[in-house]
Amino acid sequence: MPMPTKKVVILDRDGVINVDSDAFIKSPDEWVALPGSLEAIARLNQAGYRVAIATNQSGIGRGLFDMNALNAMHLKMHRMAAAVGGRIDAVFFCPHTSEDHCECRKPRPGMLKMINERFEVDPEHTPVVGDSLRDLQAGASLGHPPHLVLTGKGRKTLDAGGLPDGTIVHDDLRAFALDFLADAQE
Catalytic residues: 12, 14
| Cβ-based neighbours of 167, under 8 Å, separated by 6 or more | 136, 140, 146, 147, 148
| Cβ-based neighbours of 29, under 8 Å, separated by 6 or more | none
Of the candidates 53, 58, 60, the residue with the CA atom closest to the CA atom of residue 81: 53
Question: How far is 169 from 45, CA to CA, in rounded Å?
Answer: 21
